[in-house]
Chain A
Amino acid sequence: AQSVTQLGSHVSVSEGALVLLRCNYSSSVPPYLFWYVQYPNQGLQLLLKYTTGATLVKGINGFEAEFKKSETSFHLTKPSAHMSDAAEYFCAVSNTGNQFYFGTGTSLTVIP
């Protein structure tokens, strides 16, 4: 069975500060891991994904995430928050290619 836990349903950061959104997963086999972003009134857009190989994955808009197998984590970071980063972020896991499992989401607020 697979599951995804996102710690913190709401995160606030100041503009220019580090963004850290946490994601932990459980999976019986090596997972494929994803981060999606949802801007207001829009669908989900793929930010980045981890499949195999390098554990540090770079995505769009300056975001990156690191797969840490020992910690079963895939936290999303961005060195310097921008106002346009305000959105909801979803972590997801897949392993068989049959179903995705999403976390409950983290709403990011960027304070000017």
Chain B
Amino acid sequence: DADVTQTPRNRITKTGKRIMLECSQTKGHDRMYWYRQDPGLGLRLIYYSFDVKDINKGEISDGYSVSRQAQAKFSLSLESAIPNQTALYFCATSDPEELPTDTQYFGPGTRLTVL
């Protein structure tokens, strides 16, 4: 079984709809991240969480919110989706015992299309 799972894997929605992307991990890592990937732009950090009570904005947090329900679960929400949020979204984890390198371990991604 995969260590980092994301649901759904694909989603098509309409402008203005609320969407939640979910991430679960069995690696036992405290740190979790959400990135979006756009062609030609690489990966950009949306939010990150170092433990259940710690949530931090990343480079491009506007239009997104997150919830860290447990050590193993980190959800990303789009309160009112817009077309330029069409992208591939990745969840990642890292192990603080691997500091200072903070090596990232990625899920398989969620392809989101906003019409």
Contacts and interface: CB of A to CB of B under 8 A. Distances in A.
A45 B99 CA distance: 18
Nearest to A4: B42
A46 B103 contact: yes
B40 A104 contact: yes
A43 B101 contact: no
Interface residues of A, number: 24
Nearest to A46: B103
B95 to A, nearest CB: 11
Interface stretch (B14-22, B62-70, B77-85, B106-114): B106-114
B43 A90 contact: yes
A34 to B, nearest CB: 7
Contacts of B4: 43
Interface in B86-112: 90, 92, 99-109
A44 B42 contact: no
Contact of A99 (B41, B45, B100, B105): B45
Given A46-B104, A100-B104, 11 more contacts: A42-B108, A42-B109, A46-B103, A49-B101, A51-B101, A92-B104, A94-B101, A97-B100, A98-B102, A102-B44, A103-B42
Interface of A: 9, 32, 34, 36, 42-46, 49, 51, 90, 92, 94-100, 102-105
18 contacts: A32-B102, A43-B4, A44-B92, A44-B104, A44-B106, A46-B103, A46-B104, A46-B105, A90-B42, A96-B100, A97-B100, A99-B45, A99-B48, A100-B102, A100-B104, A102-B43, A102-B44, A104-B42
Interface of B: 4, 40-45, 48, 58, 90, 92, 99-109
